[in-house]
Amino acid sequence: MNKDKDEGNYHVVANNRKASFNYFFIETLEAGIVLESSEVKSLREGKGNISESYAVDSAGELFLQNSYIPEYKQSSYNNHNPRRLRKLLLKKKEINKLLGKINQDGLTVVPIKMYFNHKGIAKVQIAVAKGKKSHDKRNVKKTRDWDREKSRIFRKN
């Protein structure tokens, strides 16, 4: 059994739960991320937020913008900027494919979760996504409320 494919072999640091509510996911990818040492230490403590972040194109490379990794308290002068751009590590073919979808179809790239894999390397799961309209969000809320109500009824009976 391949350990890389096993779902239980990573430690999730940050989840973007708003993304599944605001977007339809078309395709998901795993990307590496360039981090400084104080950022890695801060993430290992379980701190970090990717709920408002997205990927942007800059000279043929993808960068994660608006992600928040707080400063590491024990690091003095080597601390990082909490909201800096962080480069996403993907193969050139994958980047070109993503950029084509973004530019042509009006899609966006959003991070779903940030985690450390079983080897201790920081990874980001990103998704090519299309924004939901307000009526789609209302339908999601309606079905979620109905499922919750249904489970309450079954529990009582």
> Model confidence over 17-51: pLDDT tens digits?
888 778 888 889 898 988 888 788 888 888 888 88
DSSP strand E in the chain: where? Answer: 11-15, 23-33, 54-58, 61-65, 86-89, 108-116, 122-131
| Confidence band, pLDDT 50/70/90 cuts, at residue 1 | very low
64: amino acid identity, one letter = L
Boundaries of every domain in the chain: 11-131
**Is residue 3 over pLDDT 60?**
no
Domain 11-131 has CATH 2.40.280.10: yes
Question: C-alpha distances in angstroms, 17 versus 8, 21, 44, 52, 112?
Answer: 19, 7, 20, 10, 7
* pLDDT score of 69: 82
Residue 127 and residue 111: Cα distance in Å, rounded?
Answer: 6
